[in-house]
Amino acid sequence: MDKRSIIGYILIGLVLVFYFYYNQPSEEQIQAQKEYAAAQKREALKKDSISMAEETMKMAMVNDRNNFFYNVLRGENRNVAIENGKIKAEISTYGGRVASVTIKDYNSQDGSPLVLFDSKDKIKVTDSNRELNGSNTVNFFFKSNLADRNINTNELFFIPVNATDSSVTMRLNFEEGNRYIDFNYSLKENSYMMDLEIVAHNMNDIIANDEVGITWKQFMRQLEPGYDFEQRFSSLTYKLADDDSDYLSEMTDDNEKLDEDISWIAYKNQFFSSIMIAGDKFSNVDINSEIIQKDKGLLKRCTSKMQTAFDPTGSEPTMLQFYFGPNKFDILKESNVLVSSSNEDPELQEIIYFGWPIVRWINRYFIMPLFDILSGFGLNMGIVLILLTLIVKVIVYPFTKKSYVSSAKMRALKPYIDEINAKYPKQEDALKKQQETMTLYQKYGASPMGGCLPMLIQMPIFIALFNFVPNAIELRQQSFLWANDLSSYDAIISWDANIWPIGNHLSLFCLLFCLTQILNTYYTSKMQPSMGGSPEMEQQQKMMRWMMYIMPVMFFFMFNEYSSGLNFYYFVSTLASVFIFIYLRRAIKEDELLKKMEAYAESNKNKPAKQTNMMSRLEALQEMQRKQLEERERMRNERKNR
């Protein structure tokens, strides 16, 4: 394996290592998390004591018929269902919140319709020693002019009125027919969008300001088989009103207070999301994401606190919208036109992370359209991945060939390079040797960087696919060969104990990918002889070859938890690379290539040599070395004369 190919592989490995290293928490972050957890526990204890006092006050109010809150502190806790062709939602009379959502056209792992969150969930909150009913809660806070308390909807009872199949009004009825707040829920036709209109009636002398505070909490369910992989692609994401989207860390606890206004907040699982969209922007936003330990059936606890405009007179309703549905780019983009906000384009599709800008463009305008075309033929998704991989290989083939030809030129020039190495055996002649080597390359039209640049050009495409495949909901629950679900790992062997660093299973596609990578390293090492040089350089090249064999082993431990679709893509891609390399090795004869290079050198021998930047730098270094040697010799002579 020549030096350029090794450098290219190492760069790819460094990108992957950096990606995983970047997502690991630092010591400062771990300490901050511990301090944050301790503060949360202290806050929970404080809240418990406050809650006891509030509960005592609440019981007194329940029995006081003259109290303003008398009607809303008592009632029946039940759910009212509304639905359309896409989702079924249940609205709770206690708190007037969306208590559960079922997505009809997607299934959970047991084959039943997928439940995004449910009022029946019993969740133990360890930091406050409480059990919650339901994994999704929303509290609307209205500051009141009353002396005894403010209005918190999560502790009050609503009355359902004007209910239809796809809409219902939840009424917070303080005074029968006189003072109340309506929460008007309605589902868009055949869509994943839900509208919420909040309207006050005769509340302007009760509600003290023109803002409503919102606290939205959700325990994100684990919806896919692989906890670690789904965790990696689940996050609290938000869209700045005048900027791009951003997100909290997926792999560590994280929180942030935002000075800017935002358009929406999303609690994003790998393939499904709950999005709250502001009609008139959210302000004073405080968001928090906490990871929940494995084997609880949950991924994260997400909390968002914010404010939005509210008219106590009821003249202007407060508009909010929810998206409960799949993270599918086309569906999210089509849903943008249903958003009733002042924003020109809420860009809901930005919850799908496709990578850095250049990688995102490749995914959006090349990989995704190509994937849609191939999947549109009704083929098995495994076949689609094979075709996608081969098409990408065909497109990058000119760069692959150019890289190989550059390496072949370097191999063909090896006898000449050996002569230069023999001519300058001393270490102090290293610059002369390097300068003469560069002159040789220039004379025969070769470039030591010619093999690296084409590989670097290909890297954005490979990174784009690394981000695309795990986000492709089309692979979810699609089987291929022995893999039951291409969006999750393909465990051919499983066990109960979690063994570091392999986990509790063995993924066959991951194993095949790593073995094929070793095969690729073997072929390239055998077919590309050493470039020669000093014993130190030979030893260095030998160590780099061993590193290339070690990398697939590292990949196995890193990718064993990854989706079988992604590992299958890498397996097919690496296997195709082996065949392409074997073909190029047979098609491009080094002796014929050398004749062409000698003809090139002969035709350009009378032309003045171009002075490249590297040659200029080498000459400058050589001159500096010469002066240093002369100065060293002068000082040695002076010491002798003394």
The phi, psi pair for 341, rounded to 5°, reads: -135, 175
Instruction: Inform me whether the pLDDT recorded for 611 exceeds 90.
Output: no
Whole-number Å distance between alpha carbons of 288 and 284: 13
Q: How far is CA 32 from CA 49, 253, 305, 480, in A?
A: 26, 10, 21, 44
pLDDT level of residue 616 (50, 70, 90 thresholds): low
For residue 172, the enclosing domain spans 76-352
pLDDT at 57 over 50: no
Does any domain span residue 85? yes
The DSSP result for 282-299, as a single string, is EEEEEEEEEEPPTTSSEE
What average pLDDT does this structure show over 395-401?
Answer: 88
Closest C-alpha among 254, 378, 343 to residue 304 = 254
531 falls within a domain: yes
Encode pLDDT of 293-352 as tens digits. 888 899 999 999 999 999 999 999 999 999 999 999 999 999 999 988 765 789 999 999
Distance (Å, whole) CA 316 – CA 478? 47
Question: Is 264 part of any domain?
Answer: yes
Q: Are residues 373 and 347 in the same domain?
A: no
The answer to whether residue 572 is domain-embedded is: yes
Higher local confidence (pLDDT), 611 or 267: 267
Assigned domain for 383 exists: yes
Looking at the structure, tell me whether residues 528 and 496 fall in a common domain. Answer: yes
Within this chain, do residues 593 and 575 fall inside the same structural domain, yes or no?
Answer: yes
Q: Is residue 60 part of a domain?
A: no
- Residue 630 CA to residue 19 CA, distance in Å, equals 48
* Distance between first and last Cα of the chain: 54
pTM for the full model?
A: 0.81
pLDDT band (50, 70, 90) for residue 49: very low
Q: Tell me how long the chain is.
A: 642
For residues 352 and 47, the model is more confident at 352
Q: Is the pLDDT at 561 greater than 60, yes or no? A: yes
Q: Are 7 and 452 in contact (CB under 8 A)?
A: yes
Instruction: Tell me how far apart the alpha carbons of residues 313 and 319 are, in angstroms, rounded to a whole number.
Output: 15
- The pair of structure tokens assigned to 133 is 């009913």
Cα(322)–Cα(79) distance, rounded to whole angstroms?
A: 18
* Other Cβ atoms closer than 10 A to 354: 20
Same domain, yes or no, for 149 and 297? yes
Q: Burial level of 491, CB count in 10 A (0-12/13-18/19+)?
A: buried
Residues 230 and 232: their CA atoms lie apart, in Å, by 5
Task: Pick the more confident residue, 603 or 358.
Answer: 358
Q: pLDDT digits over 581-603, tens only?
A: 889 888 888 888 888 888 887 77
C-alpha distance from residue 472 to each of 193, 272, 477 (Å):
21, 11, 11
Helical H segments across 343-429, by residue range: 357-362, 368-375, 381-412, 414-423
Distance (Å) of CA 125 to CA 41, 52, 443:
11, 17, 73
Residues 511 and 536 in one domain: yes
- Is there a domain that residue 513 lies in? yes
CA 634 remoteness from chain centre? 62
Mean pLDDT of the residues in the chain? 83
Asked if residue 369 and residue 344 are part of one domain, the reply reads no
Q: Give pLDDT, residue 56.
A: 44
Instruction: Tell me which of 39-43, 197-201, 244-248, 510-514 is least confident.
Output: 39-43
pLDDT value for 426: 73
391 and 272 in one domain? no
- Co-location of 618 and 519 in the same domain: no
In whole angstroms, what is the distance from residue 628 CA to residue 631 CA? 5
What tokens were used for 191?
């869509």
The answer to whether residue 38 sits within a structural domain is no
Q: How far apart are CA 549 and CA 523, in angstroms?
A: 12
Picking from 101, 92, 102, 179, the residue whose alpha carbon sits closest to that of residue 139 is 92
Q: How far apart are CA 574 and CA 141, in angstroms?
A: 56
Last residue of one domain, picked from the residues 327, 352, 377:
352
One domain, residues 373 and 401? yes
pLDDT at 74: 87
Q: How many domains does the chain divide into?
A: 3
Same domain, 633 and 585: no
pLDDT at residue 585, as a whole number? 86
Using one digit for the tens of pLDDT, what is the confidence trace for 479-531?
A: 999 999 999 999 989 888 888 888 888 999 999 999 999 988 887 776 555 55
Amino acid letter at 232? R
Please state the rounded mean pLDDT for residues 534-541.
Answer: 63
Q: Of 322, 352, 382, which residue sits at a domain end?
A: 352
Nearest to 289 by CA among 255, 247, 238: 255
Mark whether 217 and 279 lie in a shared domain. Answer: yes
| Residues 6 or more apart whose Cβ sits within 8 Å of residue 52 | none
What amino acid is encoded at 189 in this protein? Answer: E
Q: What are phi and psi of 238, to 5 degrees?
A: -145, 160
Residues 234 and 377 in one domain: no
